[in-house]
């Protein structure tokens, strides 16, 4: 039975999320969660899993076949439309293949560890993902989700860190100039989103972007680095890292061969542009799973596995999620609690665990997916503890604009950079000195 650490909150203060709601710490256990799930949900089917893998590759080959006929369309506008439609659809199909490889990494594809690793290596290498390297760090992410000190994938910045990284270490948050500078600029946000969506996933693999900032940087923080001084992997794991790199190398050689035989432009359209769409979807999906104004993050004093696993949120993406993305968007809370459940049982399992989770289950099925993506990029800038709850180890998302939070009382009083708390029209400084 999982033991929860005591919550020493005061009687007059509460943890408050970005929406102004009181946040209460989850108190259920992982055993209660597992007991609520029907036993058959834990049993993957090799036949069913292989069917979905074959189906997705059939979709990919079918799209390539249909796109090849676009070459004979004489109207340039119509041809551009068909090529654009191909790259978008193929990017979604490729993303589905990525998600199936993700199932392999969790052992949810089948009960056979060997089959999981063979299929995972093939499918992830096809998309230039180092299978074993990612599997290792992703497992650590699942074992420390929501932990500010140990999560390896989604580590939000504190207020101090965000101000320093965004505006420089000498930025004065109490100045009028800083208020105008820090106001959200849609075009700047859009530019940052585009860059992050296109290059965020490769950057995570190469530099561990968005993960812990421990140890030296490139190349020792890279998922491709197999030196014994790696900051991500242990010495005994190096053969697996080499095998991952060999899988990537083989795929790159195949791409070069195809480019020499069919032309670089053709391979760019058939493979590279859909690959960029995969980067977009992976970053968008995972960002929205772990970023929302209602989600907490914890220090070690308050973190437990169940609290961290439920610091995620389910969303809705309709037919694309249920058919092409294998329900990864709508069942992520369940996935974090029990990651070995195959995706085709995850919907049933998700419904079962809600009886245990009650008010602690989080889902936003009303906000359109990309609208939620934009809103959370603007609103969830950094995390900090709630007013009067300092040192209790529960951090909620915040921003400098006051969006999503109740109005802030105007108190013009200077304080340390780490305690600045502003909105668009006014600011309040909490003096800890």
pLDDT, tens only, 328-365: 999 999 999 999 999 999 999 999 999 999 999 999 99
Question: Residue 412's pLDDT is what?
Answer: 37
pLDDT-wise least confident of 40-54, 86-100, 213-227: 213-227
Residue 382 has pLDDT above 70, yes or no: yes
> CA-CA distance, 383 to 392, in Å (whole number)?
14
Residue 424 has pLDDT above 70, yes or no: no
Residue 417 has pLDDT above 60, yes or no: no
Question: Residue 168's pLDDT is what?
Answer: 77
CA-to-CA separations, 163 to 129, 171, 330, 394, 419, in angstroms, rounded = 33, 7, 33, 20, 11
- Please name the residue that has the structure tokens 């906000």: 367
Mean pLDDT, the chain, rounded, equals: 87
Residue 167 CA from chain centroid, whole number:
25
Residue 267 has pLDDT above 60, yes or no: yes
State mean pLDDT over 56-69.
96
* The length of the chain, given as a count of residues: 433
> CA-CA distance, 359 to 395, in Å (whole number)?
19
- If phi over 0 gives left and psi between -120 and 50 gives alpha, with beta otherwise, what is residue 284? alpha
Q: HSE on the CB side for 169, CA within 13 Å? A: 0
Contacts within 8 Å (CB) and 24+ apart, 322-328: 324/92, 324/93, 324/95, 324/96, 325/92, 325/95, 325/96, 325/99, 325/281, 325/285, 326/52, 326/96, 326/99, 326/100, 326/103, 328/99, 328/102, 328/285
Residue 423 has pLDDT above 80, yes or no: no
Task: Take residue 216 and report the two structure tokens written for it.
Answer: 């030296």
Q: What is the DSSP letter of 391?
A: T
Can you give the pTM of this predicted structure? 0.86
Strand bridging mode 363-364 / 314-315? parallel
Residue 37 has pLDDT above 70, yes or no: yes
Residue 418 has pLDDT above 80, yes or no: no
Q: Which candidate, 13, 419, 63, places its Cα nearest to that of 273?
A: 63
* Residue boundaries of the structural domains of the chain: 21-376, 380-429
Q: What is the DSSP letter of 154?
A: -
pLDDT digits (tens, 9 = 90+) for 143-173: 999 999 999 888 899 988 888 887 777 776 6
Question: Residue 48's pLDDT is what?
Answer: 98
CA R_g for the chain: 23
> CA-CA distance, 36 to 162, in Å (whole number)?
40
Helix (H) or strand (E) holding 394: strand 394-398
Cis status of the peptide bond prior to 219, with omega within 30 of 0 = yes
Question: Residue 182's pLDDT is what?
Answer: 57
State mean pLDDT over 423-427.
33
Residue 263 CA from chain centroid, whole number:
35
Residue 216 has pLDDT above 80, yes or no: no
The model's confidence at residue 414, banded by pLDDT at 50, 70 and 90, is very low
Judge whether 81 and 267 are in contact, CB under 8 Å.
Answer: no
Taking the alpha carbons at both ends of the chain, their separation in whole angstroms is 41
């Amino acid at each position: 039975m999982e033991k929860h650490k005591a919550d020493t909150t005061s009687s007059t203060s509460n943890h408050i999320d970005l929406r102004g709601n009181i946040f209460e710490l989850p108190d259920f256990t992982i055993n209660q969660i597992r007991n609520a799930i029907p036993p058959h949900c834990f049993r993957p089917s090799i036949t069913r899993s292989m069917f979905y893998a074959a189906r997705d590759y059939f979709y990919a080959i079918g799209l390539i076949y249909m796109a090849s006929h676009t070459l004979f369309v004489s109207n340039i506008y119509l041809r551009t439309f068909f090529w654009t439609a191909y790259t978008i659809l193929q990017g979604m199909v490729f993303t589905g293949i990525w998600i199936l490889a993700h199932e392999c990494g969790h052992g949810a594809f089948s009960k056979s560890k060997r089959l999981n690793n063979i299929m995972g290596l093939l499918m992830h290498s096809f998309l230039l993902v180092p299978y074993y390297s990612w599997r290792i760090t992703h497992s650590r992410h699942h074992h420390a989700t929501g932990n500010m000190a140990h999560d390896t994938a989604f580590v939000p910045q504190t207020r101090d860190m965000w101000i320093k990284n965004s505006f420089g270490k000498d930025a004065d948050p109490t100045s009028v100039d800083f208020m105008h500078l820090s106001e959200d600029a849609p075009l700047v946000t859009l530019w940052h989103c585009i860059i992050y969506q296109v290059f965020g996933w490769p950057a995570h693999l190469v530099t561990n972007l968005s993960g812990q900032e421990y140890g030296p940087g490139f190349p020792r923080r890279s998922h491709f680095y197999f030196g014994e001084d790696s900051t991500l992997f242990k010495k005994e794991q190096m053969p697996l890292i080499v095998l991952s790199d060999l899988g990537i190398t083989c795929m790159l050689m195949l791409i070069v061969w195809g480019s020499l035989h069919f032309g670089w432009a053709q391979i760019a359209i058939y493979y590279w542009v859909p690959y960029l769409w995969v980067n977009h979807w992976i970053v968008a999906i995972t960002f929205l799973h772990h970023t929302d104004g209602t989600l907490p993050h914890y220090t070690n004093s308050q973190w437990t596995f169940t609290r961290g696993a439920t610091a995620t949120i389910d969303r809705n993406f309709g037919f694309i999620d249920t058919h092409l993305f294998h329900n990864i968007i709508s069942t992520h809370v369940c996935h974090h609690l029990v990651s070995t459940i195959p995706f085709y049982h995850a919907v049933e399992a998700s419904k079962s665990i809600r009886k245990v989770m009650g008010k602690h289950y989080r889902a936003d099925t009303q906000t359109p997916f990309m609208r939620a993506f934009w809103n959370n990029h603007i609103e969830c800038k950094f995390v900090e503890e709630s007013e009067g709850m300092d040192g209790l180890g529960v951090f909620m998302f915040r921003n400098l604009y006051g969006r999503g939070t109740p109005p802030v009382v105007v108190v013009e009083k200077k304080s340390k950079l780490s305690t600045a708390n502003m909105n668009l029209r006014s600011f309040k400084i909490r003096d800890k000195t």
